[in-house]
Structure 1
Amino acid sequence: MAQQKRLFLLDAYALIFRGYYALIKNPRINSKGQDTSAIMGFVNSLFDVIKREKPDHLAVCFDKGGSKARTEMFGEYKANRDETPDVIRQSIPIIQDILKALHIPVIELEGLEADDIIGTLAKQAEKKDYQVFMVTPDKDFGQLVSENIFMYRPARMGNAIEIWGIEEVKKRFGVEKPEQVIDYLGMMGDASDNIPGLPGVGDKTAKKFIKQFGSMEGLYENIDQLKGKMKEKVQANEELGKLSKKLATIFTDCDVEFDEQDFELSPPDTEKLMALFQELEFRRLSEQFLKMYNEQSNNNGGLTTPEANKTSQEKPTAGSGQFSLFGNAVNQEDLDTSDFTGYRNLENTAHYYQLIETGKPLELFIKQMLKQPAVCFDTETTSLNTFEAELVGIAFSWNKNKGYYLPFPEDRQEANALLDQLEVFFTHESIIKVGQNLKYDIKVLAQYGMELKGPIFDTMLAHYVINPDMRHNMDVLAETYLNYSPQPIEELIGKGRKKISMREVPLEQQKEYAAEDADITFQLKEYFGQELEATQTKKLYEEIELPLVKVLARMELEGIRVNQDFLEQLSQALEKDILALEKTIYQEAGESFNIGSPKQLGEILFGKLKLVEKPKKTKTGQYSTAEDVLSYLASEHQIIADVLAWRGLMKLKSTYVDALPQQIQEKTGRIHTEYMQTVAATGRLSSNNPNLQNIPIRTERGREVRKAFIPRDENHVLVAADYSQIELRIIAALSQEDTMIEAFKNGEDIHASTAAKVFDVPLADVTREQRSNAKTVNFGIIYGVSAFGLSNQTDMSRSEAGDLIKTYYKTYPKLRDYIDKQIEFARENGYVETVLGRRRYLKDINAKNNVVRSAAERNAVNAPIQGSAADIIKVAMINIQNQLEAKNLKSKMLLQVHDELIFDVPKSELKELKQMVQYEMENAFKLSVPLDVEVGVGNNWLEAH
């Protein structure tokens, strides 16, 4: 018996929106500044279906111009929807070009929604004995499900793919048959489509009515069985209910036709698709496509390179095993990609990489290297942990497609002797040392007693300054700017349990891999040197980011001492606090349950205790217990406040108190956080392994964690120097708001001063609550706080918060003008700048979608403020380190946490160090407002702060 053929129909817009919003917090931006999130999200979904299901037939259905019939029925249909984000509108033609290159039909009809096209095609294909899968996250399609028509809900957020047949639809909607989903939707309405439904009828009531009466019509035939207000509401809205059912009905009789031949998957136009992917800078998707297209063929990787095609000229025939993922026999003519070269790589690019032997060859090599103005070097090691890493080799390059590799012996003494010969290069005062993420190499060399001196050029940092929103790893940079795909490290050392050390890799492979890295990095340096000039970011790069590399390397190598005994005691104290809170929560709930389980917690808070009339639910139908949901309710319900406190203590214990001792380096007995310079687009540093910038300081227990950080010994103390309200000082200076500037110049408490003005009371009469509210507004203004947001953060009502914000802007009119001018500048130029010229590009500043545009407008205001604060503390760190070295002080700069610097200081240097640090921080940059630094001293970080 022949196997039933399968047709997959994709709901384009649903998948595109889903892909776009899945990446909204971390959008995919290419080197041209183009947001490719929507395209990438959709293509990922498409490829996932093709790889996983290997369908016979497939088509993609698009909306075009909205539903004319439904809008005629009800003018308000979908009227509440935000305008489609510009990114998505711009992505649609590109997605359709990709589908055309894949030879996948694009189905759209003016005045019809994709739902109706899919409904019509599904019913036609079913009659031709096809199994049909409607690929969409939209639950409304449940009404079309039958024995041969299924909903195929793509995987998301860690949830597996769901295929809904008749039983799944019955269970999900509480219906006897899928067609009743229309009645369900008609009764309860649909906010996203602006289908009104019956007033007062929600999920539970709709299911109850369907169980009792079978349909909307059945409900009205038996209206007498209803009572009270419900009866009144339902009776008064019969016309609305029946209209809602019509609006929710997916049409199955549209003017489209299922063409078996046209919908059959066929080999794509590879050259055209690869050109599109290269333009979009879709490296991984290119690889994924080429791999999956050839997965089941024996043609020696036919698509990958022209050379591979030459080895396999025979045309495959059915039964030969050479079948594409599309299920058709692969025709060599379809596979021939001799016109498509793809990325250059080690195999298809002429290069000269040489092994350097010790003795005379090494001496000649060094002599030649010392003649160069700039040399790229790259260390190969046994570990990414610089305290455990052993040198396996160092690669060098100073010409395109040329590189050299010097292997290092395992014996430490011999390795040091070899490195000593290279000292003349590493300490040369004029040769530019080039690298990708040089901080790592500096730290590795330091383990061998070698200090890197002279000028440096870091390609990763250069790209971060040029294009902060893109990724900056070497593979991405090489493929984007050089059209070159470097050899992945996994090809040499593997991954997972079978992973080996670089030292175990054959020498010839080591040489090719390492020299390629040095060669490519040198080529990137040449390219980015010009780009820094073009983007006017050279000064920022050379005067701030590059000098900071060596400063951060020193700090990371130094590390900080931690009191393990104190952490052990704190862990035990937290355990008691957690158990006490659990007992209280169980009493409030009336039973024991797993507080850490969102499902069980939701059932208790909203199912059993019914703390909220209409609780928010997740997409899976569970009650939402997300942080923002619970925080909003915490002031009204003690059990919720206790649950949030419990979560805070659990996180504190697991993330810091119990984890910090595990992160002490055996070699040094200290914790060594790593500072990432290329993560935050604002310019702020981020801390990793462990993240010391996220230690909670608003709770007593959180603050206690800082007590664990201590000086190196009893002859030292910790010094903490903290910028006071630097962001407010920057906004006062940038906006030239006279009243604020005057308050800072007079050394007034800015929050009390603001409170006195907005509440119109004498400074001496400002209450604690007024000051607190003024403080919330002061900081909230930077982030575009709304009346709703302000009322959530204070005890004020929304109208009181709104009045306060209006009064605030009347009090500080220049601040309002500054905000407007910043947004206007961003609209005209596409970016905003910090006081030191760091740019933040805002691609959505002119978006028509209000949500997307508002986020860009907030960034237009806060990026220059946050970024300027970040730049200023970086300048201070560079100047302080220079002073520490010039004065030959033994004090060490250990940590940077937001606006604070921590130092380990011999008691004998305390006075000098405090004065120097305060001066350098307060004079790092001259604003029209004085910078103020508070310096504290203590036997632990908390005490010093």
Structure 2
Amino acid sequence: MANQKRLFLLDAFALIFRGYYALIKNPRINSKGQDTSAIMGFTNSLFDVIRREKPDHLAVCFDKGGSKARTEMFEEYKANRDETPQAIRDAIPYIKSILTAMHIPCIELEGLEADDIIGTLAKQAEKENYQVFMVTPDKDFGQLVSENVFMYRPARMGNAIEIWGIPEIQKRFGVERPEQVIDYLGMMGDASDNIPGLPGVGDKTAKKFITQFDSMEGLLANTDQLKGKMKEKVIANAELGRLSRKLATIFTDCDVQFNEEEYELSKPDVEGVVEIFKELEFRRLTDQFIKMFNEGGESGGGLTTPAATSEKKKEAKSPAGAGQFSLFGNDTSKEDVSAENFTGYKNLENTSHLYQLIEPGMATQLFLKKLNTQTSVCFDTETTSLDTFEAELVGIAFSWEKGKGYYLPIPEDQEEAKNILEPLKEFFSNPKIQKIGQNLKYDIKVLAHYEIEVSEPFFDTMLAHYVINPDMRHNMEVLAETYLNYSPKPITDLIGKKGKNQKTMRSVALEEQKEYAVEDADITYQLKEFFDKELEETQTKKLYEEMELPLLKVLAEMELEGIHVNREFLKTLSDVLETDILSLEKTIYEEAGEEFNIGSPKQLGEILFGKLELVDKPKKTKTGQYSTGEEVLSYLADEHQIIRDVLAWRGLVKLKNTYVDALPEQIEPKTGRVHTDYMQTVAATGRLSSNNPNLQNIPIRTERGREVRKAFIPRDENHILLAADYSQIELRIIAALSEEETMIKAFKDGEDIHASTAAKVFDVPLEEVTREQRSNAKTVNFGIIYGVSAFGLSNQTDLSRSESKELIETYYKTYPKLRDYMDEQVHFARENGYVETVMGRRRYLKDINAKNNIVRSAAERNAVNAPIQGSAADIIKVAMINIQRKLKENKYRSKMLLQVHDELIFDVHKEELEALQKMVKQEMEHAFELSVPLDVEIGTGENWLEAH
């Protein structure tokens, strides 16, 4: 068996979907606005297999047109699946092009699924003495496993690859023989494929039946041994069970032929692959590819199955040259193409540069003299930590000319450090020198701890790119590789990967520090030159210079200030919550009739839907477990007390763990306050996001959630908290943008907009509007912005689906210009590819013309709500800039501390309270002039809840 060859068959769509959804929260968008997540996910899986296993033979199998045979058997087969996302459809031609250039066969046949093609090829290759590895996360392939056919489940979310042979299949499915997996799937059904299975039979019952009766037919022949409801269900649904078994059976006799020569892994068309990768902007994958197929790569670990023969292991550990090996033998002759010929990426090693270390004495004096005569300088701090309160300066790099720069090391001794930094204050405070950086807010905060104030004008490359292309990533590595064709040195090359063995910058050799740090400053300087032009071209320079850059300094000052937190109050609240949680647990156990782990989705699902049978057809996850997600339970909450109690329990546990117990740990010892970080470059709408801790997600709809706000208090007895909140700003914006006179008049007359809307849509006098009518009108008012449907409205109110539909139709008749505005926004987006806020912030909508209705509808909703959400975000940003300027100009002792959605929180000196209230209200209400007046509600108190 030592010479047994190995064939790897990849299930294309399973890996493509898996890659796409793995990145769904942080999709990979390139500079053209193209979502490349699916291509990247699949290619990563492909490369991982090649790199680890160095297969002899490999092919990729695709579905084409669905399974004709199964659809003929059962019309509803896979009918429940959503339409394929447009990004995946767009990805397929690219993936096939990559495979073609790599000389890897793509196997597909009309009317067949990849499962059937893989099943057929696997059995053919097995007969020809191959070991076959079916590369897929899909459990259904377990039925094909044999002595020489394995399931190869790719690594995911930090979990290692898994290789399932016969023992693993026996353990996973509770079967003796892999072919019994077909019976298991037939009994249990498969929600993802819409295979019905036997009603009431889940994972445990299917395994029990397999053990007891051996097969589906064995079960159906012995129904006399069953009892009660289960017996009735199995007898009544015998044919459904047989049909389900047929649907779950993977075909192994398709019209496809294993071709040993064609499937052999051969040397790819390197140039062709790299060209595709360049178009997609796959920088890391290009480097990986070149290493794998030209200059070698890291030796893979090999399989932990009989396939991992000693010969294979020796081959993998017999590298050519300096620890490198080639996938195609150890020949590194001239025929191999060097990476730089194709990647085009410049780096420290292959790019001419002059980076100088600034020595003490005369060299420092000359440097300072030169520095202070510049008009635009990029600087970058090197520190010991990403936490600005812990970070110590190790050095500062400067650059004001491409390819050139300087590095000034900063000693550990604080007195020595201050002596070196003192002369730099002239540069940092000079209003005539533009300071350039990548994420300048971090550097400003670090330098503030050394009593150095960095004065405007600024240029932040991360912020500039966010304004130009909000949907793409903005870290320097991506920007440098995308726009400068340059690959910067990773920090991990100097200090190692995260973990207990990671070094700090202080322990890195000075020469390495200098090269790394000045490269960052040099590259950032070059990016600035590039983005200057891009801001002009995208017409976003005004937004950048007048809003985002000034806000950067405001946020830095707010973050440095922080807010006081009452530790003792949180400890008391934690104890109260613990009592509430234990009380709820006891109630839930009584309702369930037993104790179980409420936090375990598996155990909870078994109780709610297995034991208590709260619904006839419970929703299941892809792994076959009952789905107990928030959406599922919320939908059922009105009907079942136990579900209401479970949701309440979850809410309290999350509140306790995420905020009440976590907040005291986040109090900075040096200040006694918590200092949230505001991220300017995360939300494409322009909204700020808050991190470490996230103060924007503190729940306020429940009494216990609101209690958390009591923990935020003024600095001392001479101060009081003030909360200033925009009232219904998004509704005011949509009224102004749509020019809807009825709504504008209601706002101008100071009417309660929800009562006013209710009076009009329910056709009753304003004074006769009921509480329920106002509540329903409020739901529609806010829901319209987000494209609420009749189904969605009925879920959020006590209205039926038909009543909700009628209410929405009446609403649009009442406010006709609102519907016109929404249609115009969608039309504008279709024509231009983007929409804009009142201040010109663009939101690009790449899916606005997608063929997939679900994907396109989401883009259409964004076309309406992005300008509204974004305009609200822009307006509060302008208010913050103006208020902070006034606070400084008038030398207020009061401080602006937090921004939470449409609300600003201030720590106000009591002597300044009256003046500050007037100033804040004035600045917020006049931050931007709309045809509708902006209204700000102001409150004060000894804690945030009281002030709000």
When normalised by structure 2's length, the TM-score is 0.91
Which whole-Å deviations, capped at 9, do the CAs of 1:845-892 have from their partners, x for residues lacking one? Answer: 111112212221111111111110000000000010111112121111
SS in 1 for 2:152: strand
Q: Distance in 2 between matches of 1:904 and 1:607?
A: 53
Contact 1:182–1:249 (8 Å) recurs in 2: yes
Which residue of the partner structure matches residue 888 of structure 2?
885
The 1:334/1:652 distance shift into structure 2, 3 A limit, reads farther
Distance 1:320 1:492, change over 3 A: closer
Q: CA deviation at 1:454?
A: 3.0
| Cα deviations by residue, 1:666-717 (Å, 9 ceiling, x for unpaired) | 2212111111100111100011111111111111111111111111111111
CA distance in 1, matches of 2:398, 2:808: 59
Alignment deviations for residues 121-146 of structure 1 (CA, whole Å, 9 cap, x no partner): 11110101222222223344344333
1:632 corresponds to which letter in structure 2?
Y
- Tell me which amino acid in the other structure corresponds to 1:147: E
Paired residues for 1:455-494 under 5 Å: 455-494=457-496
Per the TM alignment, residue 651 of structure 1 is displaced from its structure 2 partner at its CA by 1.6
Match of 2:302 in 1: none
Structure 1 residue 155, shift from structure 2 partner:
4.1
How far apart are the structure 2 equivalents of 1:696 and 1:642? 18
Other structure's SS at 1:760 match = coil
Deviation, structure 1 residue 341 = 5.0
* 1:318-363 C-alpha deviation (Å, 9 max, x unpaired): 9953384747444534544163354211111000011122333223
530-539 or 255-264, larger mean C-alpha shift: 255-264
Q: Which runs of 5+ in 2 are unaligned?
A: 300-313
Q: How many angstroms apart in 1 are the aligned matches of 2:506 and 2:193?
A: 61
Unaligned runs of 5+ in 1: 300-315
Q: CA deviation at 1:724?
A: 0.5
Aligned to 2:557: 554
Residue 346 of structure 2 is matched in structure 1 by 344
Question: Structure 2 vs 1, CA of residues 647 and 334 (structure 1 numbering), >3 Å: closer, same or farther?
Answer: farther
Map of 1:272 onto structure 2:
272
Residue 141 of structure 1 aligns with which residue? 141
- TM superposition shift of 1:631: 1.8
Which shifted more, 6-15 or 271-280? 271-280
What is aligned with 1:591?
594
For residues 842 and 126 of structure 1, what CA distance do their matches in structure 2 show? 49
CA distance in 1, matches of 2:722, 2:507: 46
Deviates more, 1:744-753 or 1:763-772: 763-772
1:659 counterpart = 2:657: no
State the partner residue of 1:414. 416
Decide whether aligned partners of structure 1 residues 504 and 173 sit closer, same or farther in structure 2, where only a CA change above 3 A counts: closer
Output one character per residue of 1:374-430: Cα deviation in whole Å (capped at 9) or x when no partner: 111111122222222222211111111001111123332332232221222112222
* Aligned match of 1:637: 640
Please say which of residues 556-565 and 264-273 is displaced more in the overlay.
Answer: 264-273
In 2, distance between residues paired with 1:81 and 1:383? 47
Structure 2 partner of 1:690: 693
Aligned partner of 2:438 in structure 1 is 436
* Equivalent position of 1:6 in the other structure: 6
- 1:374 maps to 376
Query: Please, which of 531, 534, 550 is the counterpart of residue 531 of structure 1?
Result: 534
SS at match of 2:535: helix
Select which of 423, 426, 439 maps to 1:424.
Answer: 426
- Contact kept? 1:399, 1:522, Cα under 8 Å: yes
Q: Which amino acid aligns with 1:834?
A: T
Question: Corresponding residue for 1:303?
Answer: none
CA drift at 1:718: 0.9
Q: Deviations over 1:93-142 (max 9, x none)?
A: 21122223333222233454323321221111010122222222334434
Distance 2:23 2:129 in 1: 38
| Deviations, residues 69-109 of structure 1 (Å, cap 9, x unaligned) | 66677777666655433322221221122223333222233
The question of whether the paired residues in 2 share the 8 Å contact of 1:397 and 1:518 is answered with yes
What is the alpha-carbon distance in structure 2 between the residues aligned to residue 586 and residue 437 of structure 1? 51
Which residue of the partner structure matches residue 944 of structure 2? 941
Per-residue deviation, residues 136-189 of structure 1 (Å, max 9, x unmatched): 233443443333223333344566544444565567667665445556667777
Q: Which residue of 2 aligns with 1:321?
A: 319
| Structure 1 residues 121 and 889, CA gap change in structure 2 (3 angstroms) | same
**2:576 paired residue number:** 573
How far residue 817 of structure 1 moved from its aligned partner, in angstroms, is 1.7
Q: Which of these residues, 615, 619, 632, is aligned with residue 618 of structure 2? A: 615
- Change over 3 Å in CA distance of 1:97–1:298 after alignment to 2: closer
CA distance in 2, matches of 1:42, 1:629: 30
Of the structure 1 ranges 414-423 and 47-56, higher mean CA displacement relative to structure 2 is found in 47-56
Asked whether 1:669 is paired with 2:667, we answer no
Q: Report SS of the residue matched to 2:843.
A: strand
Write the deviation string for residues 526-557 of structure 1: whole angstroms up to 9, x where unpaired. Answer: 00000001111111000100000111111111
Partner of 2:98: 98
1:393 aligned to 376, 395, 412, which one? 395
1:833 aligns with 2:836: yes
CA contact (8 A) 1:55 1:326 kept: no
Structure 2: distance between partners of 1:604 and 1:229:
18
2:861 to 843, 858, 863: 858
Residue 132 (str. 1) matches residue 129 (str. 2): no
Deviates more, 1:375-384 or 1:926-935: 375-384
How far off its partner does 1:441 sit? 1.1
- Higher mean C-alpha displacement, 416-425 vs 709-718: 416-425
Whether the 8 Å CA contact 1:54–1:325 is kept in 2: the answer is no
Cα distance change, pair 237–334 in 1 and its aligned pair in 2 (3 A): farther
Using the TM superposition, name which of 435-444 and 807-816 deviates more: 807-816
Equivalent residue number for residue 309 of structure 1: none
Q: Is 2:703 aligned against 1:700?
A: yes
CA distance in 1, matches of 2:316, 2:200: 62
Residues 319 and 325 of structure 2 are in contact (CA less than 8 Å); yes or no, is this contact kept in structure 1?
Answer: no
Q: State the distance in 1 between where 2:24 and 2:516 align.
A: 35
**Matched residues, number:** 929
Pick one of 786, 796, 799 that aligns with 1:796.
799
Q: TM-score, normalised by structure 1?
A: 0.91
In the TM superposition, residue 772 of structure 1 has moved relative to its aligned partner by 1.6
Do 1:675 and 1:685's aligned partners in 2 also have CA atoms closer than 8 Å?
yes
Q: Deviations over 1:645-677 (max 9, x none)?
A: 222222212221222122121221211111110
CA displacement at 1:493 relative to structure 2: 1.9
Structure 1 286/340 Cα, relative in aligned 2: closer, same or farther at 3 Å? closer
13-22 or 133-142, which moves further after superposition?
A: 133-142
CA change 1:202–1:469 in 2 (3 A) is: same
Shift of 1:589: 2.2
Name the Cα RMSD after superposition: 3.2
SS in 1 for 2:342: coil
Show the counterpart of 1:720. 723
Counterpart CA distance in 1 for 2:350 and 2:55 is 34
CA contact (8 A) 1:720 1:900 kept: yes
**How far apart, CA to CA, are the structure 1 residues paired with 2:69 and 2:217?**
22
Q: 1:408 to 1:265 in 2, by over 3 A?
A: same
Partner of 2:304: none
C-alpha contact 2:830 2:848 (8 A) present in aligned 1: yes
Rounded Cα–Cα distance in structure 2 between residues aligned with 1:122 and 1:707 = 64
Give, in angstroms, the shift of residue 227 of structure 1. 12
CA shift at 1:42, angstroms? 0.6
81-90 or 672-681, which moves further after superposition?
Answer: 81-90
Q: Which moved more, 1:678-687 or 1:115-124?
A: 115-124
In structure 1, distance between residues paired with 2:194 and 2:594: 41
Q: Which residue of 1 aligns with 2:510?
A: 507
Aligned to 2:782: 779
Supply the distance in 2 between the matched residues of 1:74 and 1:634 (Cα, whole angstroms).
34
Distance 1:48 1:339 in 2: 24
* Partner of residue 311, structure 2: none
Decide whether the 8 Å contact of 2:191 with 2:620 is kept in 1: no
Is the deviation greater in 391-400 or in 280-289? 280-289
Deviations 1:706-737 (A, max 9, x none): 11111111111111100001111111111122
Give the secondary structure class of the aligned counterpart of 1:497: coil
The one-letter code of the counterpart of 1:455 is P
Contact 2:133 2:150 in 1 (8 A): yes
> Higher mean Cα deviation, 603-612 or 326-335?
326-335
Aligned residues of 1:730 and 1:868 also touching (Cα < 8 A): yes
| Partners of 2:317 and 2:710 in 1: CA distance | 71
